[in-house]
Amino acid sequence: MSTNAIDQHETKPENEAEAHASIHDETIGHGNTPAAWTCVLIMIVGGLVSSIGFVLASWVVFGSGLGLMVVGLIVGWAMRKAGYGVGGSKLSGNGH
C-alpha cells in the first residue's frame, strides 16, 4: 500500500482544454484499413452512379447506384471479417 499522496487520489485535468486533449490521447483506429477504403470507394462510385441516374431521370441507373452502395457495405464487412479491418489478423504489425 502506498502512502504517497499523489498515488492515493486521481489526478484531474486543470481546465477544459486539458480534459479535451486527454480524450484524444488514445488511438482508436478510425478505419484507416484496406476494408474501410474499399468500402468507401465502392460506395462513392455507387453515389456517383446514383446521382447520374437521378439527373437523367433513369430509375434503372439510380437503383443500380443504390445497389452498388449496398455492395460496398457488404464488401467492407466481408473484408473486415477476413482480417483486413481495424485490429485484423492480416494487418497486425504494419501500423493499421
pLDDT reported for residue 17: 57
For residue 3, what pLDDT is reported?
A: 57
Q: What residue segments make up the domains of the chain, in order of their start?
A: 30-86
Quote the pLDDT of residue 48: 98
CB 21 within 8 A of CB 76: no
Give the mean pLDDT per block of 10 residues along the chain (96 residues).
Answer: 54 58 58 88 97 96 97 94 83 60
b/e map of 54-78 (b: 16 or more CB within 10 Å)?
eeeeeeebbebbeebbeebeebbee
